Amino acid sequence: MSKFWKSASTYMVAALISIGASYGTYSYLNSRSDYSGADVFNYGQGFDQKNVHLTSLTAEGYPDFTKAAESSIHAVVHIKSTVKSTEVAGRRQRQMVDPFEYFFGFGDRGGSEYMNPQPSVGYGSGVIISKDGYVITNNHVIDKATEIEVTMNDNRKFPAKLVGADPTTDIALLKIEGAEFPYIPFGSSDDLKVGEWVLAVGNPFNLTSTVTAGIVSAKGRGGIGAGKPGGDMTIQSFIQTDAAINPGNSGGALVNTNGQLIGINTAIYSQTGNFAGYGFAVPISIAGKVVADIKEFGTVQRAVLGVMISDVAAVEDISPEKAKNLKVKEGVYVGGFADRSPAKEAGVLEGDAIVAINKTKVRNVGELQDLVNRYRPGDKVELTIDRNGKQSTIAVTLKNSSGSTSVVKKTDGLASVGAAFKNLSEEQKRQYGVSYGVEVAGVDDNGKFKKGGITKGFIIMKINNRSVSSAEEAEQIIEAVAQSQDKGLFISGFYANGRTKYYAIDLNE
């Protein structure tokens, strides 16, 4: 089974397009009719947006990009992200291995001659989406950044605060302080048509306020390995465009000729790392939902059907035996179920083909994912399924990844663990024979660290297999895990007597 699903995947090399930065409520429904047609989503309302409509044709009937470009460049910003030298030092220190450290069971502890590395600086783009200064960008543009600076088209600079990020969709929300910022209102990525003109606005190669034009080459494009390096991005519904997108465009705007935001430029297909005619943007139907959730709840409300799926066409090509009962050529084949699957509980069977959600046609995995991603846990959707040539509808109550219908709340990770950390002194490092690590300076009796067995004085070496060099880094990892879907911490380290210990901490409430 696993071999089949692996074979059914589409392989594609996608280059992330931010220079070095990889260290890097909204009104949920404007209107909904019960299964009577496609749902209408207005994510911009939560950011007090007011749509604008600009002339898109010249008197001669040719496309006119001037007004859309003029309105967009003032709301697309340059982002500078800085990773402080302490974290860079930690990474470099880990490259030097001291054999003595194997005695403690941590093979990558090591000394280093690098004591004063320079901060790492990267660049990308972002889009202002509200007059009070909310900015949407890619997660890989600001990932691990300790300082974020936004530069406007008029060269004004603002420090930016990270409101929240979602590595799964590679979307992040920033906030700059001020009023009456220019912004780009959300358009409808659903209404885009293949062949329609679009503009890509961003800062490729640090060339600020760059506008390129192209057409929509495809919609619902899947198999793009975008997201932060080593990340878990799973979005399978990109807008493909031939508008020139290059390194530095990450997080920039893809706009229609009305000057409306219809996508966030994220990745390119290229063998050289530069534009080769294939760019990809996260549709605003997905990106808008993500930032609206982050703004209202602090974390993304991600509903799931709990099914293992692939395109019907892929099943026919790879496993004719599995496809022999399929009577449709388009749709999504259900090949299995996750634990506590809402779809299975509702009556969906293995071998069914999902052909519509709430009467909106579903032709492939990307379209199914796009539609489901618009809902919250607890929402009901109606699936149209084809079973052995007969179509029927099944009402499914969507759940979150934990099998609950409740809205996921943002978890205060540090408050939950109930611990304080402090950096190891140079004397401690020499004493323990380590080059990195952080000490647990104290634990709260009601915190998860204390309940899990971690006591004061424990030296943390790794959290979730990631080496830790400073108290700040430990706090950042814990907070990131607290906002993730998994919410599990696996901590390894040792006590002053040299005894190595491993702890598993569950941050779920």
| pLDDT (0 to 100) of residue 477 | 87
Residue 132 domain-assigned (yes or no): no
Q: For the ranges 170-174, 236-240, 343-347, 452-456, which has the lowest average pLDDT?
A: 236-240
Asked whether residue 63 falls in the same domain as residue 200, the answer is yes
Query: How would residue 411 be classed by pLDDT, with cut points 50, 70 and 90?
Result: low
| pLDDT (0 to 100) of residue 313 | 87
Asked whether residue 393 falls in the same domain as residue 418, the answer is no
| pLDDT (0 to 100) of residue 234 | 58
Asked whether residue 216 falls in the same domain as residue 353, the answer is no
Tokens of 392: 């029927």
Asked whether residue 278 falls in the same domain as residue 351, the answer is no
| pLDDT (0 to 100) of residue 115 | 47
Contact 439, 461 (CB under 8 A): no
The DSSP secondary-structure symbol of 304 reads B
Residue 363 domain-assigned (yes or no): yes
pLDDT digits (tens, 9 = 90+) for 37-79: 334 467 777 888 876 545 455 555 567 899 899 989 999 999 9
Residue 241 domain-assigned (yes or no): yes
Residue 468 has pLDDT above 70, yes or no: yes
| pLDDT (0 to 100) of residue 224 | 61
Asked whether residue 391 falls in the same domain as residue 275, the answer is no
| pLDDT (0 to 100) of residue 479 | 80
Q: For the ranges 49-58, 269-278, 404-413, which has the lowest average pLDDT?
A: 49-58
| pLDDT (0 to 100) of residue 230 | 32
| pLDDT (0 to 100) of residue 318 | 80
pLDDT digits (tens, 9 = 90+) for 437-454: 999 998 888 888 998 999
Dist CA 395 CA 412 (whole Å): 35
Between 79 and 94, name the one with better pLDDT: 79
| pLDDT (0 to 100) of residue 229 | 33
Residue 334 has pLDDT above 60, yes or no: yes
Mean pLDDT of 148-166: 94
Residue 131 domain-assigned (yes or no): no
- The position carrying tokens 């989503």 is 41
Mean pLDDT (the chain) is: 80
| pLDDT (0 to 100) of residue 51 | 60
Asked whether residue 50 falls in the same domain as residue 187, the answer is yes
Chain center to CA of 49: 23
Asked whether residue 463 falls in the same domain as residue 315, the answer is no
Mean pLDDT of 489-495: 94
Residue 99 has pLDDT above 60, yes or no: no
Asked whether residue 191 falls in the same domain as residue 333, the answer is no
Q: Is 81 a catalytic residue?
A: no
Share of the chain above pLDDT 70, in %: 78
| pLDDT (0 to 100) of residue 101 | 34
Tokens of 39: 């749902």
What predicted TM-score, i.e. pTM, was given to this entire model? 0.70
Residue 394 has pLDDT above 80, yes or no: yes
Residue 33 domain-assigned (yes or no): yes
Query: How would residue 91 be classed by pLDDT, with cut points 50, 70 and 90?
Result: very low
Domain residues for the domain of 193 are: 12-74+182-297
Q: Is 140 a catalytic residue?
A: yes
- The position carrying tokens 């290059």 is 246
- Nearest CA to 163 out of 125, 124, 134, 183 is that of 134
Catalytic residue among 22, 112, 189, 250: 250
Domain end, chosen from 297, 332, 356, is at 297
Residue 406 has pLDDT above 80, yes or no: no
Asked whether residue 352 falls in the same domain as residue 285, the answer is no
Catalytic residue among 39, 170, 190, 379: 170
CATH number at residue 344: 2.30.42.10
| pLDDT (0 to 100) of residue 102 | 33
Domain end, chosen from 370, 397, 424, is at 397
Query: How would residue 460 be classed by pLDDT, with cut points 50, 70 and 90?
Result: very high
| pLDDT (0 to 100) of residue 299 | 82
CATH number at residue 43: 2.40.10.10
Ranges of beta strands (E only) in 320-425 are 332-337, 353-357, 360-361, 380-387, 390-397, 419-423
Residue 338 domain-assigned (yes or no): yes
Residue 384 domain-assigned (yes or no): yes
Mean pLDDT of 290-303: 88
Contact 310, 335 (CB under 8 A): yes
pLDDT digits (tens, 9 = 90+) for 131-155: 999 999 999 999 888 899 999 999 9
| pLDDT (0 to 100) of residue 27 | 37
Residue 509 has pLDDT above 70, yes or no: no
| pLDDT (0 to 100) of residue 409 | 65
> Residue 417: left (phi > 0), alpha (psi -120 to 50), or beta?
alpha
Neighbours of 124 (CB within 10 A): 32
Residue 273 has pLDDT above 90, yes or no: no
Domain end, chosen from 397, 426, 442, is at 397
Asked whether residue 346 falls in the same domain as residue 286, the answer is no
By residue count, the chain amounts to 509
Between 66 and 88, name the one with better pLDDT: 66
The domain tally of the chain equals 3
Between 239 and 369, name the one with better pLDDT: 239
Please enumerate in sequence order all residues whose Cβ is within 8 A of that of 261, keeping only pairs 6 or more positions apart, or say none: 127, 129, 184, 185, 186, 187, 253, 254, 255, 284
Asked whether residue 203 falls in the same domain as residue 274, the answer is yes
Catalytic residue among 18, 112, 125, 140: 140
Please count the CA atoms within 13 angstroms of the CA of 16 that sit on its side-chain side.
Answer: 27
Residue 12 has pLDDT above 50, yes or no: no
Using alpha carbons, list the distances in angstroms from residue 485 to 289, 321, 496: 17, 36, 34
Residue 413 has pLDDT above 80, yes or no: no
Residue 114 domain-assigned (yes or no): no
Asked whether residue 371 falls in the same domain as residue 312, the answer is yes
Q: Is 250 a catalytic residue?
A: yes
Element housing 315 (H / E): helix 312-318
Between 233 and 379, name the one with better pLDDT: 379
Dist CA 91 CA 485 (whole Å): 26
